[in-house]
Amino acid sequence: MTIDHASATFDVVAGLLAELVGDAEVLGIEITPDTTFHEDLQLESIDLVTFASILAEHFGAEVNLAEHLAEKDLDDVIGLTVGDIARFVEERTCRR
């Protein structure tokens, strides 16, 4: 995995997330790798389920965010960042 590929993956993940939440910049939020789903974007668990579907549709079934999150405890899910999701996607898609 190269830095350019990881950066491109982040850009795609952030773009898909922006479509889900609307224009985050209007809300005064810049989506960065450190942006949190719960605290910064005020997303609930149902939003993560929706985002999991969006990721699977875009990247394929091997990007199963719901399964990945089921392995985590509640504090880890609450602290989830956009960078965490981008790394997860990168790990799954880099295997192709």
DSSP state of 81: B
On whether the CB atoms of residues 65 and 85 are closer than 8 A, the answer is yes
What per-residue confidence (pLDDT) applies to 25?
Answer: 57
**Interval 15-50: pLDDT, tens:** 999 888 876 555 677 889 999 998 988 888 889 999
The chain-wide mean pLDDT, for the chain, equals 87
pLDDT at 23: 63
Residue 18 tokens, joined:
């922006």
Residue pair 53/20 in contact by the 8 Å Cβ criterion: no
Instruction: Answer whether 65's CB lies under 8 Å from 52's CB.
Output: yes
Q: What is the pTM of this model?
A: 0.85
- pLDDT exceeds cutoff 80 at 1: no
